[in-house]
Chains A and B, each alone.
Chain A
Amino acid sequence: MAKDTYLKKILGGDQYERVRNSKVLMVGAGGIGCELLKDLVLTGYGQIHIVDLDTITLSNLNRQFLFRRTDIDKSKSLTVANAVQSFNYLNTKLIPHHGNIMDSKQFPIHWWNQFDYIFNALDNLEARRHVNKMCLFLKKPLMESGTTGFEGQIQPIFPYYSECFDCQAKETPKTYPVCTIRSTPSSPVHCITWAKEFLFHQLFDEADQVGVNDAEKIAGETDDKEEQANLAKEANELIELRNSINSKDSNGFINELIEKIFKVDIERLLLIETLWKARTKPIPLPYDEYKSQLEELVNNPLSESILKNETKVWSVLENLYVLYKSSVALQTRINGGEPFITFDKDDEDTLDFVVSSANLRSSIFHIETKSKFDIKQIAGNIIPAIATTNAIISGFSCLGGTSYFKHDPKSIGQNYSSLMEDSRTVYISIRPNKYITSALLSEPNPKCASSSISRGVLEINENDLKSKSLSWLVNSLIDMYGYEEEGLSISLGQSKLIYDVDFNDNLDTILSNINGFKDGELILIQDDDDVFENLELYITVKKDQPTELPDIKLGKKIFEKEEEDEDDEEDKEDYSMEEINAGDTIIIDDGDEIELIDEEIEPAYKKRKVDN
């Protein structure tokens, strides 16, 4: 029997032929990528390009099944392309590219144009946003996918017809205000952050240049050096303590540490009365009451078993014991010649220190304490990557991709309205009866900065680039798109404003002399009169053809002013959108019913994804 008999039966002869004759791109060859490439090859795609910038590491091998131990340190994209040859029954042509998909030199816009369909199998927001944007520029269909633990989802994207990747706000990792961490913690994660980023860091990690500066790490802020002055006493004493690691014996060091951190510092905090008007006061650790018991534990070799019990929530005494043991170990290492020690969840000494000190702080502030196992997940930002989740999501991604070929791409062109009916966003989870749910595709969010914008490619002649000034470009834009005289602003790249009516310093500057005005960069043009929608142009430099602005009729700008007036409603709306993203709102297949599930599940994107 021919290898494609079943495929023909499942897809039908026409659809199968289209798949056979298509050229697709898969971005990412990791957790999802390995699974997905297998599926795509077995589906018989004509040509698959694979892009990944990574090399293989040991920790990949448990789930990225196309890799073997001997592949460690080799390129992921090159390795997968070879690995699937053993079952490449339908002779799919595989073209690997080792590189960063965001590199516009290696992957310029015309390179993207060759693909019929694009599959994302990525693990980070930045690259996802880039692929999404390229697909929007070229109006290419895109299949987005991602997993977090047992949860996963696929989202087919048909540019300007369905929601794009940026239409739903993605939350970025939470940061905490310094004062919450240092003075008024209220949840376990605050205490864990304090233990890891502040206490451990100050005592054992590489010293900061100027005194104490935990804030930078905690809050990603830039200038908190002086803010520390407020808590300077506390911090300076810690520095003294650090400097004494070498000279003090273990008992002296640890007693002083516990005494200071869990007693004196807390007593000092209690003096700031306003802090505790609306909060429960912390209770300093009565260390003296524990001293003799702790000594007994330390002297009894059997106590070591405490350290092994990672899923138990330790008592105050047990935490003191673990703190004692880990401090001794860390002190010994410093004295043994390690200049500093950096927190690593897999370094038991550092983890034990953070777990026990976080828990002791929690108990002082009446916060729930956690097991070592739980704290390891939080402190290490670990979400387990699960091979099965990746496999299921890849299956959906592959199947979802084939439905694009139901219709003849040549006849529909870039009119995707018929595909909106045939495609679904799919969520998977381990909640009973909600293992797999799907939703019709939504229309683009009118407030999305990526979707509600016109895009085109600005082909600029190399000679023009080197001889024409910014004012020439401004006037060309006015002529082409109908802005009022001086009625537009232009920004370049990430955040450079190069022109508006009140900022015309650069008008006489030759384009190639404007820093960043070059091939592969983007310019964003906004209409001063708020009549036309925003226009984003991709700069591409051509040698042998005249400069050409894309022939686009700019749509009307959607007014955002209303936002301010309907604040409250807005908030609610945003909330429910987030819920959909989290997979918490399940839309039954016909899109009519919305059911909210009460379980508090953190949206997948809140966590750092270890693997997708």
Chain B
Amino acid sequence: MSLCKTRLQEERKQWRKDHPFGFFAKPVKDTDGSLNLKVWNAGIPGKSTTIWQDAVYPVTINFPDEYPSKPPKVKFPAGFYHPNVYPSGTICLSILNEEQDWRPAITLKQIVLGVQELLDSPNPESPAQEPAWKAFSKDRSLYEKKVKEQAKKYASADHN
């Protein structure tokens, strides 16, 4: 669909020209040597002074044919530890939900900033996985320990 293509090319351009510090985002390279604008790899830094700091968390972003009428699907690696992330890694976030707050005007930049925000401000009202959600609601010290362990796994290069 032409709107999808036009918009994704535009998103790529705007991101190249200007993007928030510490983030990266790039369409994946296809076997034929072109960049596939429908699938992006991105990195989301944990905010400093939070338990998520000093790490860059990888996400893949899949844009459907109906984008921007429909939101992209944003995923952490499977098994990512966070109350609002499904076991598959899919992120449960209102701006990424067609029935909730998704609007076609939301840009890639706003999406990744939204995901960064979600990291340290989970929404206990919409649990997506048992372990992190349970720990977050009932055993905060276990939760923080697990999050910090995960941060080590995704530690950004300059803090290693």
Q: A73 at interface (Cβ–Cβ under 8 A)?
A: no
Once the chains bind, are B5 and A223 in contact (CB under 8 Å)?
Answer: no
Known: A494-B1, A497-B35. 4 other contacts (CB 8 A): A169-B69, A180-B99, A223-B88, A274-B125
- Secondary structure at the A interface, as helix, strand, loop or mixed, is loop
Once the chains bind, are A229 and B127 in contact (CB under 8 Å)?
Answer: no
Cα A274 to Cα B133 in complex, Å, equals 11
- Flag B49-88 by CB within 8 Å of A: 1 or 0 each: 0000000000000111010011001010010000000111
Once the chains bind, are A272 and B127 in contact (CB under 8 Å)?
Answer: yes
Cα A129 to Cα B6 in complex, Å, equals 15
Q: Which residues of A contact B127 (CB under 8 A)?
A: 272, 274
Q: Can you give 12 A-B contacts (C-beta < 8 A)?
A: A221-B90, A224-B88, A226-B89, A230-B130, A274-B127, A450-B3, A491-B8, A494-B5, A495-B38, A496-B30, A496-B35, A500-B16
Once the chains bind, are A524 and B86 in contact (CB under 8 Å)?
Answer: no
Once the chains bind, are A230 and B129 in contact (CB under 8 Å)?
Answer: yes
Q: Which residues of B contact A172 (CB under 8 A)?
A: 66, 69-70
Interface centre among B35, B89, B99 (most CB of A within 10 A): B35
Q: A481 at interface (Cβ–Cβ under 8 A)?
A: no
A171-B69 contact, Cβ under 8 Å, with A449-B7, A497-B12: yes
Q: A571 at interface (Cβ–Cβ under 8 A)?
A: yes
Q: Which residues of B contact A592 (CB under 8 A)?
A: none
Q: A143 at interface (Cβ–Cβ under 8 A)?
A: no
Cα A216 to Cα B16 in complex, Å, equals 33
Q: A534 at interface (Cβ–Cβ under 8 A)?
A: yes
Of residues 198 to 231 in A, which have CB atoms within 8 Å of B's CB atoms?
220-227, 229-230
Of all chain A residues, which has the CB nearest B98? A175
A223-B99 contact, Cβ under 8 Å, with A230-B130, A497-B37: no
Q: Which residues of A contact B8 (CB under 8 A)?
A: 491, 495
Of all chain A residues, which has the CB nearest B39? A495
Q: Which residues of A contact B111 (CB under 8 A)?
A: none
Q: Which residues of A contact B6 (CB under 8 A)?
A: 449, 453, 524, 526, 534
Chain B nearest CB, measured from A189 CB (Å): 12
Cα A494 to Cα B37 in complex, Å, equals 9
Of residues 1 to 55 in B, which have CB atoms within 8 Å of A's CB atoms?
1-10, 12-13, 16-17, 27, 30, 32-38
Cα A489 to Cα B63 in complex, Å, equals 19
10 shortest A-B CB distances, which residue pairs? A515-B32, A226-B88, A496-B34, A497-B35, A449-B3, A495-B37, A226-B87, A449-B6, A227-B86, A495-B38
Of all chain A residues, which has the CB nearest B129? A230
Give the number of residues in B that approach A within 8 Å (Cβ atoms). 52
Chain B nearest CB, measured from A506 CB (Å): 6
Once the chains bind, are B33 and A506 in contact (CB under 8 Å)?
Answer: yes
Cα A179 to Cα B6 in complex, Å, equals 32
Q: A415 at interface (Cβ–Cβ under 8 A)?
A: no
Chain A nearest CB, measured from B130 CB (Å): 7
Cα A176 to Cα B70 in complex, Å, equals 12
Chain B nearest CB, measured from A538 CB (Å): 13
Once the chains bind, are B99 and A221 in contact (CB under 8 Å)?
Answer: no
Cα A274 to Cα B107 in complex, Å, equals 31
Of A220, A223, A500, A564, the residue contacting B12 (CB under 8 A) is A500
Cα A489 to Cα B35 in complex, Å, equals 12
Of A129, A496, A505, A514, the residue contacting B36 (CB under 8 A) is A496
Once the chains bind, are A524 and B105 in contact (CB under 8 Å)?
Answer: no
Once the chains bind, are A524 and B88 in contact (CB under 8 Å)?
Answer: no
Chain A nearest CB, measured from B135 CB (Å): 14
Of B17, B62, B103, the residue contacting A222 (CB under 8 A) is B62
Once the chains bind, are A496 and B62 in contact (CB under 8 Å)?
Answer: no
Once the chains bind, are B105 and A564 in contact (CB under 8 Å)?
Answer: yes
Of all chain A residues, which has the CB nearest B34? A496
Of A272, A450, A502, A570, the residue contacting B105 (CB under 8 A) is A570
Q: B150 at interface (Cβ–Cβ under 8 A)?
A: no
Q: A17 at interface (Cβ–Cβ under 8 A)?
A: no
